Amino acid sequence: MKSISPVTGEVLTEYREHSPEEFSAIISRVHESWKSWKEQSFSYRAGLFLRMAGVIRSDKDRLARLMTSEMGKLLRESVAEIEKCAAVCEYYAANAEKMLADELIVSDAGRSLVCFQPIGVVLAVMPWNFPFWQVFRFAAPSLMAGNAAVLKHASNVPGCALAIEELFVTAGFPEDIFRTLMIPASSVEAVINNPLVKAATLTGSEDAGSKVASAAGRNLKKTVLELGGSDPFIVLEDADLDKAVATAISSRMVNQGQTCISAKRFIVSEKILAEFTKKLVRLVSELRMGDPLDPSTQVAPLARPDLVDDIESQVKRSVAQGASLLCGGNRPSLQGFYYEPAVLSNVTPGMPVYKEETFGPVFTILPFGTEEEAVSIANDTRFGLAGAVWTKDPEKGERIARAVETGAMFVNGMVKSDPRLPFGGVKKSGYGRELASYGIKEFVNIKTIWIA
């Protein structure tokens, strides 16, 4: 495995992969560690996660720079991601016990209850775009519930993967309760086939999710999948236009657009379309591209060269089919994996930027006439992860939010994940939920106990 700089394209570090015999042995050790971990009290586990939060914060500058060096995001975004990891550790340390407390149920029994018990070793197949946050939003609830974990991280962030494993050691967690498997994607099925692995969670592409779900299905093991998104950003004629445009840019450009929940389709009322487009194009054109370590940089490189190829192809094919490129859409002369943020109008159904997920800095503008038409356009996608609607009428905003087929909708706000709120999608965006009380219950045995 190689760590390659998105800024220069140079190899930073090379890492040795685990052989099948090695990763099988690691899984066995994690299973053995789980046998005692599951018997520990919530207060014991909480103490370790509170210590973890401190360890993360004390080392956040190094961890953030590691993240930026491997996948290219702006350093300030990397720092914020590290802080969020510490926060999710604290959240579940404070709330896991009450979330998983026994529930007394009135039935025909003398006493009946539901309890929540850990299931064992869970495999996490995680992506490169949020290399620390994606792991911790799984690990904190899963381990607080009493499970153990093995991580198969994306191949372009091996340094981050090993750093996370080291954080568990530094924080004083039991040996082998969380381990990183340095394996290629082709070895994931063998891990799922291992009888000591009881479930799997994946954040990634549709194709990867389908493969993990298929392998898990053959083994009758549960999965949680968070896949792609083509989030609608609906702007009604009564919206605060300046705020909506500013948030549109923030939402689309976070992580250089390499985010499942970033706004991708800007569905704008015909009555304000010209003004919205003018403001958007002006501000997007002014974004400064450069080194992600430079505090003044607003546009960093994409994580890999193939991602630049993909987004460039989507834009070019859409323009060839009649879309108008209003700004950007070029490869700059900078060394590294850069792509100019692009704004497209005159987009119609069937074009790549309409029907596909655009995992990069591309703004697709789609006009609508009526509220019903806005909802119809928003739902005209195979994805259903999240979305936003902008209006000065809260009741109208909630009505539209309920009508759009997604796992989350934000009214007058930027879509984000929050440990207090469940996160996940519908349709081709996956199934199951992470975070909040719903996420911690995904990988537990929900057991009924009936007493005469």
**What does the pLDDT read at residue 425?**
98
DSSP 174: P
Does the active-site annotation cover 226? yes
Does the active-site annotation cover 327? no
Segment 263-291 mean pLDDT: 98
pLDDT in tens, 63-97: 999 999 999 999 999 999 999 999 999 999 999 99
Segment 276-294 mean pLDDT: 98
Contacts of residue 309, Cβ cutoff 8 Å, sequence gap at least 6: none
- What residue spans of 145-238 are helical by DSSP H? 158-170, 188-193, 206-218
Overall fold of domain 231-418 = Aldehyde Dehydrogenase; Chain A, domain 2 (3.40.309)
Q: Which of 153, 220, 216, 228 is nearest to 185 (CA)?
A: 153
What distance in Å separates the CA atoms of residue 94 and residue 42, rounded to the nearest whole number? 10
**What does the pLDDT read at residue 409?**
98
**What does the pLDDT read at residue 278?**
98
List every span in the chain annotated with CATH 3.40.605.10: 2-227+429-451
* Strand-strand pairing, 197-203 and 178-180: unpaired
**What does the pLDDT read at residue 110?**
98
Looking at the chain, how many residues does it have?
A: 452
List every span in the chain annotated with CATH 3.40.309.10: 231-418
Catalytic pick from 70, 81, 226, 357? 226
pLDDT in tens, 346-400: 999 999 999 999 999 999 999 999 999 999 999 999 999 999 999 999 999 999 9
Segment 153-164 mean pLDDT: 98
**What does the pLDDT read at residue 153?**
98
Catalytic pick from 89, 160, 260, 327? 260
pLDDT in tens, 229-258: 999 999 999 999 999 999 999 999 999 999
Indicate the angle between helix axes 158-170 and 42-58, nearest 10 degrees.
120
Helix (H, G, I), strand (E, B) or coil at 243: helix
Classify domain 2-227+429-451 at the CATH superfamily level: Aldehyde Dehydrogenase; Chain A, domain 1 (3.40.605.10)
Segment 395-415 mean pLDDT: 98
How much of the chain, in percent, has pLDDT values that exceed 70? 100
